[in-house]
Structure 1
Amino acid sequence: MSQFALLGKRRFAPFFLTQALGAFNDNAFRYALIGMATFRLGMSSQALSTYNNIALALFIAPFFLFSASAGQLAERMEKARLIRIVKAMEVAVMALASVAFMLASPGMLLAVLFLMGLQSTLFGPIKYSILPQTLHPSELVGGNGLVETGTSLSILLGSVAGNALMAVPHLGPQLASAAVIGVALAGYLASRAIPPSPATAPDLRFEWNPFVETWRVLGFTTRNRTVFNAILGISWFWFYGATLTVQLPLYTRNYLGGDASVLTLALALFSIGIGVGSLLCERLSGGKVEPGLVPLGAAGMTVFGIDLYFVRPHEALLREQNWWSMLSGAGGWHIAIDLVLIGMVSGFYIVPLFALVQERAERSQLSRIIAGTNIINSLFMVLAAAFGIVLLGVGLSVPQLFLTVAVMNAAVAVYIFTLVPEFPLRFFGWLLVNTLYRIRREGIDRIPEHGPALLVCNHVAFTDPLIVMACVRRPVRFVMYYRIYRLPLLRPLFRMAGAIPIAGAKEDPELLQQAYDAIDAALEAGEVVCLYPEGGLTADGEIAPFKPGISRVLERRPVPVVPMALRGLWGSVFSRRDNFLRRARLPRRFRARIELVVGAPVAPEGVDAAALEARVRELRGAEA
Structure 2
Amino acid sequence: MQDSLHLLRTRRFLPIFTTQFLGAFNDNLFRTSMVLLVIYGIYRNAEQEATFSAIAGGLFILPFFLLSALSGQLADALDKARIVRIVKSVEIAIMIFGAAGLLLQNVPLLLIALTAMGVHSTFFGPIKYAILPQHLTKDEVLGGTGLVEAGTYIAILCGTIFGGLLVHQRSDGSYHAEWAAVGVLAVALIGRVAGGFVPAAPPADDAEIPGYPHRGMDWHIIRASVTLVSATLHVRRLFLAILAISFFWAMGAVLAAQFPPLVKNVFYGDQGVATLFLAVFSVGVAIGSVAINRMLKGRVSARFAPSSALLMGIFVLLLFWLTRNWPASTELVTFREFLRHPLAWAVVLDLLGVAIAGGMFVVPLYAFLTTTVPKSETARTVAANNIVNSGAMVLATLMLTGLVLVGFSVAQTLFLVALGSVIAAWLGWKLHLACD
TM-score with structure 1 length normalisation? Answer: 0.66
Note if 1:14 corresponds to 2:15. yes
SS in 2 for 1:312: helix
SS in 1 for 2:395: helix
| Structure 2 partner of 1:608 | none
Consecutive unaligned residues of structure 2, counting only runs of 5 or more, are 208-213
User: 235, 252, 259: which one pairs with 2:270?
Assistant: 259
Whole-Å separation in 1 of the counterparts to 2:137 and 2:423: 35
| Structure 1 partner of 2:282 | 271
User: 345, 368, 372: which one pairs with 1:356?
Assistant: 368
Consecutive unaligned residues of structure 1, counting only runs of 5 or more, are 424-473, 476-624
Whole-Å separation in 2 of the counterparts to 1:418 and 1:146: 25
User: Cα distance, 1:363 vs. partner?
Assistant: 2.3
Deviations 1:552-606 (A, max 9, x none): xxxxxxxxxxxxxxxxxxxxxxxxxxxxxxxxxxxxxxxxxxxxxxxxxxxxxxx
- Equivalent residue runs for 1:378-527 within 5 Å: 378-414=390-426, 416-417=427-428, 419-422=430-433, 475=436
- Equivalent residue runs for 1:511-550 within 5 Å: none
| Structure 2 partner of 1:205 | 216
Name the structure where strand makes up a greater proportion of residues: 1
| Structure 1 partner of 2:137 | 136
| Structure 2 partner of 1:32 | 33
SS in 2 for 1:278: helix
Note if 1:329 corresponds to 2:341. yes
CA separation of 1:250 and 1:212: change in aligned 2, threshold 3 A: same
Name the structure where helix makes up a greater proportion of residues: 2
Aligned length: 424
User: Cα distance, 1:283 vs. partner?
Assistant: 0.8
Q: 1:75 touches 1:204 (CA, 8 Å); kept in 2?
A: no
| Structure 2 partner of 1:320 | 332
User: 344, 347, 350: which one pairs with 1:338?
Assistant: 350
Q: Which has the larger radius of gyration?
A: 1
Q: 1:254 touches 1:316 (CA, 8 Å); kept in 2?
A: no
Aligned-pair identity in percent equals: 36
User: Cα distance, 1:228 vs. partner?
Assistant: 1.5
Whole-Å separation in 1 of the counterparts to 2:159 and 2:424: 31
Q: Which amino acid aligns with 1:14?
A: P
Note if 1:224 corresponds to 2:235. yes
User: Cα distance, 1:249 vs. partner?
Assistant: 0.4
User: 372, 387, 406: which one pairs with 1:375?
Assistant: 387
Misfit runs of 4+, over 4 Å: 201-204
Whole-Å separation in 1 of the counterparts to 2:46 and 2:177: 23
Deviations 1:84-111 (A, max 9, x none): 0000000110111111112211011111
Whole-Å separation in 1 of the counterparts to 2:272 and 2:55: 24
Q: 2:37 touches 2:177 (CA, 8 Å); kept in 1?
A: no
Whole-Å separation in 1 of the counterparts to 2:23 and 2:185: 11
TM-score with structure 2 length normalisation? Answer: 0.94
| Structure 1 partner of 2:210 | none
Please tell me the root mean square deviation across aligned C-alpha atoms, in Å: 1.7
| Structure 2 partner of 1:534 | none
Q: 1:69 touches 1:208 (CA, 8 Å); kept in 2?
A: yes
Note if 1:66 corresponds to 2:70. no
Whole-Å separation in 1 of the counterparts to 2:339 and 2:21: 29
SS in 1 for 2:333: coil
Deviations 1:117-137 (A, max 9, x none): 111111111111001111111
CA separation of 1:288 and 1:420: change in aligned 2, threshold 3 A: closer
Whole-Å separation in 1 of the counterparts to 2:432 and 2:371: 18
User: Cα distance, 1:207 vs. partner?
Assistant: 1.3
Q: 2:248 touches 2:424 (CA, 8 Å); kept in 1?
A: no
Deviations 1:1-59 (A, max 9, x none): 52111000000001100000000000111111101111111331111111111111111
Whole-Å separation in 1 of the counterparts to 2:160 and 2:428: 34
Q: 1:90 touches 1:116 (CA, 8 Å); kept in 2?
A: yes
Whole-Å separation in 2 of the counterparts to 1:420 and 1:234: 11
Q: Relative contact order (C-alpha < 8 Å, sep 6+): which is higher?
A: 2
Q: 1:258 touches 1:323 (CA, 8 Å); kept in 2?
A: yes
Q: 1:141 touches 1:281 (CA, 8 Å); kept in 2?
A: no
Deviations 1:252-299 (A, max 9, x none): 011111000100110011111101111101110011112111112111
| Structure 1 partner of 2:185 | 181
User: 267, 279, 285: which one pairs with 2:296?
Assistant: 285
Q: 1:76 touches 1:204 (CA, 8 Å); kept in 2?
A: no
Q: Which amino acid aligns with 1:408?
A: G
